[in-house]
Amino acid sequence: MKYYIIIAILICVILFILYKYIRAKQVISDKKREIKTSETLFNFILQHIKSYILVIDKDFIVKNTNYYAITDSQNFRQPKRVGELLNCINSLSKGCGNGELCKTCPIRQAITEAFKTKKDFSNLEATINLCQSDKKTLKCNVTVSGSYMNIHNYPEMLITIHDITELKQAQIRLQDALAKTERIEKSKFSFLEKLSNEINDQLNCILGWTNLISTDKTLTSNQQNEYMNLIYEHSDQLSHVVNDVLRLARIDAHKIDLQMATFCLHEFCRDIILLRMNNTHPNVELYLEGGSPNLLVYTDQQKLYQVILNLLSNAQKFTNKGHIKLTYSVDEKQNMVNFTVEDTGSGMPPRIHTYLFERFYKANTFTDGPGLGLSICKAYIEAMGGTIQFTSSEGRGTRFHFSIKKEPVPASDTALNIYN
C-alpha cells in the first residue's frame, strides 16, 4: 500500500510538471507570435516611413537600414559607410570620410561630435549632392537627427534622414511670390503716383495751350497750328494712359471679350508697319516678312493690333541702328499663327528677364508709359489661345515670339477667295 501511494504522488508530480511544460510552451509560442507580429509591423513601418533610418557604428559603417526597402534597390550585404550608401558624390572616389569635402561636411561633424560627447542631436539642416545612376548629380536638402546608443558596451547611433527638398523648393516659391507681391505693391504705388502726376501734367499742358490759343490774338496761323498739334499729341498720350488702366481693370475682372473678325493678315501687318514708319530712327530699317500674302485669319483684330503695336513701339524706343523686323507664319501641325518682333537694339540684362511681364514693371524708368504694356499683351495673347516668350542679350537686341490659335474662318468669309 505504501508503494502505491508513492507511485500516485510521482504520477501527480509528473502530470503537474507536464502541465507546466505545456503551459510554458504555449506562453512561449504566444510570445514568439507577438514578437513576430511586432517585427513585421516594425519592418512595415521602416519600409513605408518617408525617412531613411540608419544604425551606424563610430566608423560610420551602416549596421542596419531601411534604405534598400525605400529605394527598392538591391542589398549586396557588403558593409558600407553612410556616404557610400547614399551615393554621396564626395565619397565616390576615395570613400566616405576620405574626400576633401568630407572634412567640412556638417553631417559628419555632427555625428562625430555626438559619438564623442555621447549625446543626441536633432534637426540639422544640410545640403548633400548625390550621384544618380545616369552619372548626374542630384542636389538634396535634408534634415538629420542622431540618437546615441550604447548596447552591451558597443556604441552605435540611430540616424534619421528626412528629405526636405520639396519643402525647401516650396519655401523658395513662396519667398519669390512674396517678393513679387512686394514689387508689385511698390510698383503700383509708384505707378499711381506717376499716373497722377502724368495726368495733371498732360491736363495742365492742354489747358495752358488751349487758353493761349483762345486769348492771345497775336498768334500767327502757323503758331496756332503748332499749339493745336501739341494739344492733340498730349491728348493722345493721356488717352493711352487711361486706356491702359481700363484694359487692366477688364483683365482683373476676367472680362476679356474677344470680338472675332476675319481679315487679311498681311495687309493688317503692313498697315501697322506703315503707321510706325515715322516713329523709327533714321538709321533703323523697319520691315515686314510674311510668306502668305493672302492669308485670312479669324481672331480679335483690335487686340492683335494692340499687341503688335506695343511690341513694335518698345523695339523703336531702344533701337537706334540696325533693323526692326515683324514676321508671321502658320504652323499647320500645331494649328497656330506665329509672330516675331525682332530688333537690334540695346537688349536687356538677364537680371530683369524674370520681371518683364509683371505689371507696372519698367526696364527703363525714363521711358514713357506706366509699365503695363507687356502684361496686357500677355493677357491678350493668352485669351487668344497662345503664348509669348522672348530672348534678349544686352547690346545685341531682343526677339519676342508669340502665337495665337488659328481659328477656322467662317464659310461666309472664305467666299472672298483670298485665303491661301
Q: Please identify which residue in the block is written with the cell numbers 542622431.
A: 146
Do 316 and 279 touch, CB atoms closer than 8 A?
yes
Q: How far apart are the first and last CA of the chain?
A: 128
Q: Examine the pLDDT at 188 and tell me if it is beyond 90.
A: no
Same domain, 264 and 320: yes
Query: What is the rounded average pLDDT of the residues 296-301?
Result: 91
Distance (Å) of CA 405 to CA 301, 335, 387: 13, 6, 9
Q: Examine the pLDDT at 365 and tell me if it is beyond 70.
A: no
Q: Indicate the residue among 111, 140, 163 that finishes a domain.
A: 163
Q: Examine the pLDDT at 382 and tell me if it is beyond 80.
A: yes
Distance (Å) of CA 30 to CA 16, 37, 347: 21, 10, 79
Query: What is the rounded average pLDDT of the residues 184-194?
Result: 71
For strands 121-131 and 284-290, give the pairing.
unpaired
Into how many domains does the chain fold? 3
Same domain, 204 and 348: no
Environment class of 365 (CB within 10 Å of its CB; exposed 0-12, middle 13-18, buried 19+):
exposed
Whether 27 is in a domain gets the answer no
Query: What is the rounded average pLDDT of the residues 294-316?
Result: 90
pLDDT, residue 389, reads 92
pLDDT, residue 326, reads 93
Whether 2 is in a domain gets the answer no
Query: What is the rounded average pLDDT of the residues 307-325?
Result: 90
Same domain, 225 and 267: no
Same domain, 234 and 289: no
Which tens digits make up the pLDDT trace of 216-232? 777 777 877 777 877 77
Q: Amino acid identity of 299?
A: T
CA 390, 392, 397: angle at the middle one, nearest 5?
120
Same domain, 279 and 390: yes
- pLDDT > 70: percent of the chain: 83
Contacts of 336 (CB under 8 A, 6+ apart): 330, 386, 403, 404, 405, 406
- Among 403, 384, 402, 417, smallest CA distance to 299 is for 384
pLDDT, residue 368, reads 57
Distance CA 335, CA 331 (A): 6
Domain containing 339 equals 260-414
Going by pLDDT thresholds of 50, 70 and 90, the confidence category of residue 419 is very low
Distance CA 271, CA 248 (A): 26
Distance CA 233, CA 213 (A): 16
Query: What is the rounded average pLDDT of the residues 159-163?
Result: 88
pLDDT, residue 177, reads 86
Environment class of 409 (CB within 10 Å of its CB; exposed 0-12, middle 13-18, buried 19+):
middle
Q: Indicate the residue among 139, 163, 187 that finishes a domain.
A: 163
For strands 284-290 and 322-331, give the pairing.
parallel
pLDDT, residue 2, reads 63
Total residues belonging to the chain: 420
| Count of other CB atoms within 10 angstroms of residue 67 | 19
pLDDT, residue 148, reads 92
Q: Indicate the residue among 252, 286, 309 that finishes a domain.
A: 252
Helices and strands (H and E) in the chain: how many = 10, 12
Going by pLDDT thresholds of 50, 70 and 90, the confidence category of residue 23 is confident
pLDDT, residue 120, reads 92
Same domain, 268 and 201: no
Could you tell me which residue, 276 or 44, shows the higher pLDDT? 276
Do 46 and 64 touch, CB atoms closer than 8 A?
no
Q: Examine the pLDDT at 291 and tell me if it is beyond 90.
A: no
Same domain, 291 and 364: yes
Distance (Å) of CA 354 to CA 35, 253, 274, 317, 350: 59, 25, 32, 21, 8
Q: Please identify which residue in the block is written with the cell numbers 495751350.
A: 209
| CA 310 remoteness from chain centre | 26
* Highest-pLDDT range among 68-77, 90-99, 173-182, 183-192: 173-182
Same domain, 408 and 358: yes
Same domain, 71 and 198: no
Going by pLDDT thresholds of 50, 70 and 90, the confidence category of residue 252 is low
Same domain, 152 and 206: no
Lowest mean pLDDT, pick from 129-143, 233-247, 251-265? 233-247
| CA 89 remoteness from chain centre | 27
Contacts of 195 (CB under 8 A, 6+ apart): 241, 245, 370
- The chain-wide mean pLDDT, for the chain, equals 81
Query: What is the rounded average pLDDT of the residues 247-265?
Result: 77
- pLDDT > 90: percent of the chain: 16
Q: State the CATH number of the domain containing residue 85.
A: 3.30.450.20
Whether 13 is in a domain gets the answer no
Q: Examine the pLDDT at 153 and tell me if it is beyond 70.
A: yes
Q: Examine the pLDDT at 370 and tell me if it is beyond 60.
A: no
Query: What is the rounded average pLDDT of the residues 252-271?
Result: 84
Q: Please identify which residue in the block is written with the cell numbers 543626441.
A: 120
Q: Examine the pLDDT at 335 and tell me if it is beyond 50.
A: yes
Q: State the CATH number of the domain containing residue 193.
A: 1.10.287.130
Do 179 and 159 touch, CB atoms closer than 8 A?
no
Whether 420 is in a domain gets the answer no
Report which secondary-structure segment, H or E, holds 298: strand 296-300
Q: Examine the pLDDT at 51 and tell me if it is beyond 50.
A: yes
Whether 154 is in a domain gets the answer yes
Distance CA 309, CA 301 (A): 12
pTM above 0.75, yes or no: no
Whether 10 is in a domain gets the answer no
Same domain, 355 and 305: yes
Running DSSP on this structure, what letter comes out for residue 218? Answer: T
Q: State the CATH number of the domain containing residue 341.
A: 3.30.565.10
Whether 419 is in a domain gets the answer no
Report the greatest alpha carbon distance in the chain: 160
- Can you tell me whether residue 182 is helix, strand or coil? helix
Going by pLDDT thresholds of 50, 70 and 90, the confidence category of residue 237 is low
Whether 392 is in a domain gets the answer yes
Q: Examine the pLDDT at 62 and tell me if it is beyond 80.
A: yes
Q: Examine the pLDDT at 350 and tell me if it is beyond 80.
A: yes
Cell numbers found for residue 259: 470680338
pLDDT, residue 43, reads 61
pLDDT, residue 134, reads 59
Q: Examine the pLDDT at 308 and tell me if it is beyond 90.
A: yes
256-290 burial code (b ≥16 CB/10 A, e <16) = beeeeebbbbbebbbebbeebeeebeeebebeeeb
Query: What is the rounded average pLDDT of the residues 374-390?
Result: 89
Q: Examine the pLDDT at 95 and tell me if it is beyond 90.
A: no
Q: Examine the pLDDT at 339 and tell me if it is beyond 90.
A: yes
Lowest mean pLDDT, pick from 38-42, 70-74, 283-287, 355-359? 38-42
Q: Examine the pLDDT at 318 and tell me if it is beyond 60.
A: yes
Q: Examine the pLDDT at 403 and tell me if it is beyond 90.
A: yes
Same domain, 280 and 357: yes
